[in-house]
Structure 1
Amino acid sequence: MTATLPQRHAPVDDRAPAPVHVLMLEDNRLDAQLTAAQLSSSGISVKITRACTRDEFCAALDDHTLDLILADFVLPQFDGITALEIARQTRPELPFIIVSGTLGEELAIETLKRGATDYVLKQRITRLGMAVKRALREADDRRKRLAAEEEMQRARESAERANKAKDQFLAMLSHELRTPLNPVMAAVGVLENSAGLTQETGYLIELIRRNVELQARLIDDLLDLTRIAKGKFELQIEPVDSHAVIERVLEICRTDLGAKNLRIATDLTARRHVVMADAARLHQVLWNLIKNAVKFTPPFGGIAIRTADAENESLALEVVDTGVGIAPANLESIFNPFNQGDDTQYQRMAGLGLGLTIARAIVEAHGGSIIAASDGLNQGSRFTVIMPQAQLPMAPSRPRVAKAERNCTKAAFNSGGLDILLVEDHPDTQQVMIRVLNQFGHRVVTAGSVAEALAITESRTFNLLISDIGLPDGTGVDLMRELNARNRTMPAIALSGYGMDQDVKNSMSVGFAMHLTKPVNIDKLFAAIGKTVVERA
């Protein structure tokens, strides 16, 4: 007795793949049937659209459900090469396989050079199934790759749009935060130059100045962080006297040191204290470090500034304080953005926690390093900066306003004053700037828009233009372009709340001699005016 085993039926797959839609260019019906049969015997389910002529072939290419083209090589008044060229122009994504009984080796190679996916001789039609499967697999891989690339491109474009929107937001935020600070800073300058100030009034004026400058510094830090993140941190490297920079920063911080009765000691023993650096950025690093030391050192404490020659032709610069110290676990994380160490220790301290992040980025951009050290909380801290020393016997750059610029300023203001066109739409800034400039003997005419400024220049000439960038009917850049076109050029300074790198470049590209970012103090404004007028004289 023979037992019959029950048959196991494969489960029905409701998700079976759709038939492969083949465009078959074949004028011989029997060959077309044989080709279809060979595909079926290879396990390929197909839907065939057959074309015999050029017109039928071109019309069939409009069907976007096609997966594959199989083409004979020799057709009446038509050939496989021409079909291939048409297909590659209109449907380059479709695999194209030549199926012919007359294709020689040279012609086969020629078709591949012109973009055919493969070729199969009718004498070896059993290869067709394998060739089709490979072509479909490669086409699928290509589609997936292209889809991934398109998705990546969309993501890149989305990120670029987001970055552009962020930059625009930061530029606008900077402008809106800076603009109200400018009349305050200018008013402080007017008051400082007033006669008969009492000691108490002088103290209050200095208090206002100090806090406006702090607010401006916080805005600058946010913009610097953006530049760092985007890798757009530009440096102007030159020989710089680090000791001169230290003296300048200590001079600026002297009021803060005195307010807390902090002892300051300097031990500047480096013999080669000229470094290769961006003077303004080195000033910023030292300002951040010393301001941090002041902030985190209690009253009657001490701060020491030291320099020494280090290994590998470098300068070691230390800022040491007797302040609250740093927990060992935070010695590295304090350089992270928005980090101020142990929150319970520092949460009462003002600031965004960006100073050290920016300081490290600046130092590392110079090829140097900065490290923090502390014996623990309430044990003080030490920050050590290593910078490359200058190798060339060149005169070092002095920080901030050079003596030559100060002389230019003095000469400009001793010449009977200037006729100045002030283009500013912010009422408070406009009024206080008039007072500042009048106080030093200058004659000021104001305009609140591009159109008003252009109208004024039609009937008057000026020694200097000071213009805001953001104006109701355009920009200061538009104004300069139009003045240039009308041959009404004059020495010009941009004074704006817009202070992104591109804003500065835009201003300089149309002829502004300088771009000052609000709020600007009087000394810096006068230095800019003097330098601009004298250089254009």
Structure 2
Amino acid sequence: MEVYNKAVQVGSLKLEIAISDRSNTILYQSPEEHEASLACPYFINLTARDENDKRIWQTPVMDDHGEIRYYSSVYEAIEDAKSKLGDAGDEIEYNLPGSSKELQILLIEDIVEDMELMCMTLRKAGMKFNIKQVDTREEFVQALSEYKADIILSDHAIPQFNSLEALSLARKVNAKVPFIIVSGGVSETMAVNCIQQGASDYVLKSDLYRLPLAIQKALHAADITSATREELLLKVEELSETNNQLEHMLYGVAHNLRSPLNSVLGLLNLARHEGESLSKNMSHYFQMMEDSIRKLDTSVNDLLKYAKNAKKEVSIEKIDFKKVIQEGLEQMRFMKGFDRIQPKVEINQSSLFYSDAYRVSSILHNLISNAIKYMDYSKADSFIKVAIEVTKQKVDIEFTDNGIGINKTYLSKVFTMFYRATSQNDGTGLGLYLVNDTVQKMGGTISIESQEGEGTSFHITLPNHYSTALS
């Protein structure tokens, strides 16, 4: 069974390194081979190929009598490779698991003789290592924080402590470090349980010849998983989130696009059947159709903003907050209720502010639009208040309105895609999602406070890229 395989390029040579476990092939071994497998229970195959992929050297080699010479350790094979390949042989040593440095082994063992036997076994296999031995739970916990172990070896049962408890403690501190149980007696059920709990392997003390191979297998697995586990988990998480958003978006898009269109079709059918009274009601119907089309346009526009925010790289430039807010108000002047809103803007700026102009505009414009959509028509003095405080490090934006407000029950959901916290059907459910998504993209923070019937306040903090822009 192959436990390690790697190919490396050294100059014009391609080196192939493979290690296989031959301790499991006892039925197919001669007495001489079985004796050799007890001394070195792994089969080492090193191959060197030239630029034409022609094999120029390979182990194992034949001795003077034409018999295959098995190496007693990985390091015996390395020395042979060095003598034949020079610098390329050094590269083989560097790329073998655990061979490029001294292993730092943390050992849980209360019998000194057993520890010495393990050390003898590892030295015989040519392994370089330092070992720290502990025999109590307290010592182990302390060693986990103070001793940087490459691998942990643990007896299964010592007084008032066992390997499963040690494994649990180790995983809380370092989930990646290999953990091998070395015990005088482990049942099959216990061995399976240990592996399920996260142990890399288990070795019986009566079969310590397996320990060097078990360590190499565990280190090799750790080399692979440490480089890929976090990346894979991150990719899975990102893909899952993307899929959830896409599924949600498909439903929301279908709903938001089809509803206005159905309204337009329905109004046209009404107009078609009005007959003689068509001219009297035409103006009203046209206004309703215009409102429905504007909703459709808003939905499409919000989707375009979402797509642009997701793909567009952050671009740093100087921001004029007064101009951004004025442009936002100008864009919203045709919205229903705009003429009833009194904007109040306060800007306290002790430094120039550098950030992504498109995204800053998107945040403020969405908040202005949201405040107008959900204004409280029962109030005579509807307002939008924007307070901005700029320093060299950041900008704090306090955006407040005295609109209809949001019920506290729904506050935790207002940044969710397509979520509406009110029965008013004026919005797409994308506005606040886009605001939050944009703030996160820029490395900022956002919080919301609201009281139904009183109004809503957003507090946004964004980093100032002043130093970066001027460097």
TM-score of the two chains, using structure 2 as the length reference: 0.45
More strand by share: 2
TM-score of the two chains, using structure 1 as the length reference: 0.40
The higher-RCO structure (CA 8 Å, 6+ apart) is: 1
